[in-house]
Amino acid sequence: MDGVRPLKGREGRKKGERDGQSGKAKGSFLTISPLAPLPLLCFFVLNKGPLFPCALLAALLHELGHIAAIYLSGGRVAHIGIYPFGAQIVTGGSLLSYGQSLFVALAGVGVNFVCALPLLFEEAPFLLQIFAVCSLGLGMFNLLPLKRLDGGEALYHFCAMLSDPERAGKICRVFSFLGSAGLLLIASSGVLLAKINPTLLLLVLYLLWGVF
């Protein structure tokens, strides 16, 4: 995640369309929400050992994958926003096509899957295996077709290529609402019945809020 964000806005538009976040890029290159450290602090307190730094490194490489894809597509990064459960990247320069934006949306997940390759080798060091598990989990979670996640961005750009932006937006909202509601039910049951990490429930609530 970005989705964690994790979770970004749409990195590209066809020529002629405007990015609603472009105004943010004029103020400063980097914006950090005051609430951004809270989920990290919660995750750190609830997860001892190497899990926290491995997950943080997987998230950092995920975002670097998006940034590299933007420049490879001929764009540039105009603004980066750090929020409680992810980052938002706004591009500048040449506007990206839907195909290029689809590539950018999936680039972070692609980096995570590459980082998960050590799982194929039993002799890999234990710490590297933990990092690979974190990378795989982050990549798979971000592939969910939900708004604020890379899967939702990819779904939007793919549908926009086949139809139009308005219809693509409607399709994404339906997938986001149904998927987030299902995750909310699963996460709530896990926290109440299985006493799993409540960080997941907070993330799901954030995703569900982002649908509207």
Q: Which pLDDT does position 27 carry in this prediction?
A: 57
- What pTM did the predictor assign? 0.77
Q: How sure is the predictor about 198, in pLDDT bands with cuts at 50, 70 and 90?
A: low
Would you place residue 91 in the very low, low, confident or very high pLDDT band (cuts 50, 70, 90)?
A: confident
Strand partners, 83: 86
- For residue 5, the 8-state DSSP code is -
- Enumerate residues 6+ apart whose C-beta is below 8 A from 161: 98, 99, 102
The verdict on residue 10 lying in a domain is: no
Q: For the chain, what is the domain count?
A: 1
Q: Are strands 75-83 and 86-93 parallel, antiparallel or unpaired?
A: antiparallel
For residue 187, CA distances in Å to 16, 183, 193 come to 41, 6, 10
Whether 192 is in a domain gets the answer yes
Comparing 28 with 169, the larger pLDDT belongs to 169
Structure tokens belonging to residue 86: 């992810």
**Using CA atoms, how far apart are residues 186 and 22, in angstroms rounded to an integer?**
36
**Phi, psi dihedral angles at 90 (to 5 degrees):** -110, 130
Would you call 80 helix, strand, or coil by DSSP?
Answer: strand
Whether residue 187 contacts residue 157, with contact meaning beta carbons closer than 8 Å, is answered with: no
- The dihedrals phi and psi of 145, each to the nearest 5 degrees, come to -80, 60
Q: 139 by DSSP, 3-state: which?
A: helix
- Classify burial at 28, counting beta carbons within 10 Å of its beta carbon; exposed 0-12, middle 13-18, buried 19 or more: exposed
Residue-number span of the structural domain to which 76 is assigned: 22-210
Is-contact 154 9, C-beta < 8 A?
no
pLDDT tens column, 31-87? 888 877 776 777 667 667 788 888 889 999 999 999 999 999 999 988 888 877 677
**H helical segments located in the chain:** 22-27, 37-46, 51-72, 98-115, 126-142, 150-162, 165-189, 199-210
Does residue 128 belong to any structural domain of this protein?
A: yes
Task: With respect to residue 164, please indicate whether it lies within any of the assigned structural domains.
Answer: yes
> Measuring CA to CA, which residue among 22, 12, 18 is closest to residue 160?
12
pLDDT score, position 186: 80
